[in-house]
Structure 1
Amino acid sequence: MTGTASARRSASPFSRAGVLGIVLVGFAAFIALLYFISAGDTGDRGNTGAAHASATGLNGYAGLVRLLENEQFDVTLSRTPSGLETTDLLILTPPLYSDPEDIAQILEARDYLGPTMVILPKWSASGPPNNLPAETADKFKDGWVALGSANTLQWTSELPAPFALTQKIETLEDDEVPQWSGLDQSGEVPTKTIAYAEQSALHDPLITDQSGHILALSVLGEEDSEYYNNAHWTVFVVEPDLVNNYGLSRQENAAAAIALVQQAGYEGDYSAVTFDLTLNGFGGAENLLTLAFRPPFLAATLCLILAMLSIAWRAFLRFGPAAIGGPEIAFGKKQLVSNGAGLIVRARRFGLLAAPYADLSARRLASRLGLIKHDAEAIDAALAVRLPEEEPYSLRADRLREARSSTEILRAAQALRELEGKLAK
């Protein structure tokens, strides 16, 4: 029997090591799922041509992120709205069709939080077209884009003072070289399509082109105003080709990008920089794993982990087919009687046993005394002859029928059983 049970146990298609590996991989996948959902990173969004800090296309700013990291800046890419409340230098990269009210709300909230740099968009961009020749399509890497037209922004003029500015686009002649200067730097813009801001008394030009157009500016506000005296600095980069991946292909533009970040961060006082990604659609809720390990959820999380470990350990030790035993309910008269008795014991209906047992005892006594009838009087008369010193059957049977507790019923039934045994001798 032991050999059969062992053979049946070994028939399991999974070993303990295999089950442990499945559990660990599944647990790791579940934790990763929680993280990526909470972080807002649910998979490949496709190459939409958006300009943001993670974009590696010409109009993206992944190069600026790497440049600042190489310059020993502490760079963070924020995917949560709480990142807008940082006291570090915050760099915003709003999309082409932003809501001016949303941008205004962020900028006004930043007045007393920390410095801000806003890199305005210019290019319409998209992924490589589907009809490209195979040789050309193979040269495109993930994230690369094809630049379209330059766009004049309307929403920048709808910002509240002192942030409002009028942005314009100008395309230079073929024989003109798009040069810029400012912040003790100079260089060339990589394209002849220039985005610039009109002059304003509320703004201080930082970088201009050869025509005096403002390519980057610092917001001053009205002299002696609350903003002028107390608000943190806000810098607008109107010409994004100074700092995007396209522009950073030139060394002088990389130097200008560093100079702009240092200028926005109070001339280098800020070494921590946060790039916001929520305006570009990468916003996510607070990380669920981080939230689970904070009070008041920490206690529940620890209890859940302990419960999971206990269940996993028990399941690991128990894993595999159980040994096959006999049927839960055996066949035969003996088992049927045992099951019936067990039901009566479970239901605590002992009083139902007294009268039937007395009648059954009467039949057995009558049979042993050789009587045709098994009434109490005939049994008592026959017992008086065979066992004159014994208590009559009728008294014992009455005592059994009148018993109420299980102890009284048992004692009375034993008295009848003893009488049967004496007749058997």
Structure 2
Amino acid sequence: MSDIAIARTAEQGAFGVRTVAILLVVGIAAFVGMVVLGAYAPDWRSGRNGGAHALSNAAVGFSGLVRLAAATGRNPQIVRNPHALGTEDLVVLTPESAATDMTAVLAQRAVKPTLVVLPKWLTVKDQRHDGWADYIAVLPAAQPEGVLAPQYPLRVRHYRGGGQPLKTLGWMPATLRFTAPRAMQTITGPGMRPVLSDQAGHVVLAQVGSRPLYVLADPDLLSNLGMRDARQARAALALLDWLNSTGATSIVFDVTLNGFGRSPSPLKLALEPPFLAMTLALAAALLLAGIQATASFAAPRRRARAIAFGKAALIDNAAALVRKAGRQGGLGDRYADVVRERAVGVFGVPARLRDGALDGYLDALAGRARFTALAEDARAARHPRDMLAAAQALHQWLWEKTR
């Protein structure tokens, strides 16, 4: 049977071609937008939570120092990926509590310039202003003391600073001149070598042993609160330059310790060079495949029926079956009987005649050939060509008698 419909019924769809095209375009655009947002959403977190980190614009944050470093050509980088902290440039770490795990970061920065800024203020997010923080009190000493513990035990002291200038080492740059905040936080501890101290000798910035690891006790020297003073801002930049390695190209501010870290994303990797070219090539290939699937380049050609209509097709199919079975040679005798039966009806042969008498009657009919001779040739044929010739001769005999 045929697997092609005999008649095609025209049906009208619920949507037009233009409507379907618009729906496809909108759907593809929405999907691409969702993929891009999913890949880059962690990078777009503003960090405006009132915390003490490089993304915060609160008084205790350090976004002002980042913007100032960018404006003066120091190329600051805010790092969200822990694996990017292996740079040779200065890395500024801003842990916000003693619960922050510093072990892995400090091990990674073992021989590379690193500045750890201790926490100082206890604040809450200001609900009236986005990114602001409300002051509550100075953190208990146990919080900053526990940041580097137990590897580097510290003792923290709070007192009123009085706005006196801080003392530096004699060979340090002249631009590195800080003024003590009114509320001072200083540190002491084994292996801490003073770099900045107040007039009484209390340590504000210390180097840990001989390593390029520095601890800033009072974050107000670098925070947004301190950047409102031009002299403090100038001294802050000078301090970062002095701490940075020779030939440094940037200053790195870490926010992974503040909860803004992220792991490498395979999806983001596919949307950035060098893999972006492969992604675009795949997208173009899918687009072309879609166009080829929906666009027709010529009139569609109907497939042929498995079994054709009509008597001729039925005869052709029957002949094909006989030919496939290899039985052509046995059809001569049967074809001779078919021609005899047709001749009886055409010529009105008396019904009483049978067998030899019937053949004698047909031989007596006028003509160049005798029926019995042609029938014998058909019965004797075994090769398809011989059988075809005999059948054509019988057909010609009958045609001559009836014309």
TM-score (norm 1): 0.64
Which letter does structure 2 place at the counterpart of 1:54?
Answer: L
Which letter does structure 2 place at the counterpart of 1:368?
Answer: R
Which letter does structure 2 place at the counterpart of 1:117?
Answer: L
Q: Does 1:284 align with 2:262?
A: yes
Q: Give unpaired runs (5+ residues) of structure 1.
A: 130-136, 222-227, 372-376, 401-410
Aligned with 1:249 (options 223, 228, 239): 228
Task: Note if contact 2:102-2:147 (Cα within 8 Å) is conserved in structure 1.
Answer: no
Q: Distance in 1 between matches of 2:389 and 2:166?
A: 120
User: SS of the residue aligned with 2:60?
Assistant: coil
Residue-by-residue CA offset, 1:47-89 (whole Å, 9 max, x unaligned): 5443221222222211111111122112112221221111111
Aligned with 2:195 (options 201, 206, 218): 206
Q: Distance in 2 between matches of 1:337 and 1:96?
A: 96
Q: Does 1:334 align with 2:309?
A: yes
Aligned with 2:149 (options 152, 158, 162): 158
Aligned with 2:217 (options 238, 245, 256): 238
User: SS of the residue aligned with 1:334?
Assistant: coil
Task: Note if contact 1:180-1:208 (Cα within 8 Å) is conserved in structure 2.
Answer: no
What is the aligned partner in structure 2 of residue 63 from structure 1? 64
Q: Distance in 2 between matches of 1:204 and 1:303?
A: 53
Residue-by-residue CA offset, 1:90-145 (whole Å, 9 max, x unaligned): 1112231444xx42443243233x2111112223333224xxxxxxx2xx13x222
Mapping of residues 144-183 of structure 1, within 5 Å:
144-151=132-139, 152=141, 153=143, 154-156=145-147, 158-160=149-151, 164-170=152-158, 172=160, 177-183=162-168
CA RMSD between the two structures: 5.0
Q: Distance in 2 between matches of 1:205 and 1:124?
A: 26
TM-score (norm 2): 0.67
User: SS of the residue aligned with 2:227?
Assistant: helix
Residue 12 of structure 1, CA deviation: 0.8
What is the aligned partner in structure 2 of residue 115 from structure 1? 113
Which letter does structure 1 place at the counterpart of 2:162?
Answer: V
User: SS of the residue aligned with 2:261?
Assistant: coil
CA 369–54 in structure 1, closer or farther in 2 if over 3 Å, else same: farther
User: SS of the residue aligned with 2:284?
Assistant: helix
Residue 305 of structure 1, CA deviation: 4.8
Mapping of residues 287-306 of structure 1, within 5 Å:
287-288=265-266, 291-292=269-270, 305-306=280-281
Aligned with 1:388 (options 339, 354, 373): 373
CA 209–370 in structure 1, closer or farther in 2 if over 3 Å, else same: farther
CA 84–325 in structure 1, closer or farther in 2 if over 3 Å, else same: closer
Q: Distance in 1 between matches of 2:313 and 2:248?
A: 86
Residue-by-residue CA offset, 1:293-334 (whole Å, 9 max, x unaligned): 999x96xx8676545423312423554799998997989971
What is the aligned partner in structure 1 of residue 86 from structure 2? 85
Task: Note if contact 1:196-1:239 (Cα within 8 Å) is conserved in structure 2.
Answer: yes
Q: Distance in 1 between matches of 2:215 and 2:64?
A: 19
Task: Note if contact 2:97-2:147 (Cα within 8 Å) is conserved in structure 1.
Answer: no
What is the aligned partner in structure 1 of residue 29 from structure 2? 25
Q: Distance in 2 between matches of 1:147 and 1:349?
A: 103
Residue 367 of structure 1, CA deviation: 5.7
Q: Distance in 2 between matches of 1:67 and 1:145?
A: 21
Q: Distance in 2 between matches of 1:255 and 1:269?
A: 21
What is the aligned partner in structure 2 of residue 11 from structure 1? 16
Q: Distance in 2 between matches of 1:349 and 1:44?
A: 81
Residue 247 of structure 1, CA deviation: 2.1
Q: Distance in 2 between matches of 1:335 and 1:127?
A: 89
Residue 278 of structure 1, CA deviation: 1.8
Q: Give unpaired runs (5+ residues) of structure 2.
A: 1-8, 169-175, 346-354, 364-368
Q: Does 1:216 align with 2:205?
A: yes
Task: Note if contact 1:83-1:276 (Cα within 8 Å) is conserved in structure 2.
Answer: no
Which letter does structure 2 place at the counterpart of 1:187?
Answer: T
Which letter does structure 2 place at the counterpart of 1:128?
Answer: D
Task: Note if contact 1:118-1:236 (Cα within 8 Å) is conserved in structure 2.
Answer: yes
Q: Distance in 1 between matches of 2:390 and 2:30?
A: 67
Q: Does 1:73 align with 2:62?
A: no
CA 167–60 in structure 1, closer or farther in 2 if over 3 Å, else same: farther
CA 214–391 in structure 1, closer or farther in 2 if over 3 Å, else same: farther
Task: Note if contact 1:49-1:145 (Cα within 8 Å) is conserved in structure 2.
Answer: yes
Aligned with 1:312 (options 281, 287, 297): 287
Residue 370 of structure 1, CA deviation: 4.3
User: SS of the residue aligned with 2:110?
Assistant: helix
What is the aligned partner in structure 1 of residue 185 from structure 2? 195
CA 369–269 in structure 1, closer or farther in 2 if over 3 Å, else same: same
User: SS of the residue aligned with 1:285?
Assistant: coil
Which letter does structure 1 place at the counterpart of 2:18?
Answer: P
Q: Distance in 2 between matches of 1:92 and 1:391?
A: 114
What is the aligned partner in structure 1 of residue 248 from structure 2? 270
Residue 45 of structure 1, CA deviation: 7.7
Task: Note if contact 2:49-2:56 (Cα within 8 Å) is conserved in structure 1.
Answer: no
What is the aligned partner in structure 1 of residue 324 from structure 2? 351
Residue-by-residue CA offset, 1:339-373 (whole Å, 9 max, x unaligned): 9x99xx9xx99736968x969x85965663447xx
**Could you tell me the percent identity over the aligned residues?**
21
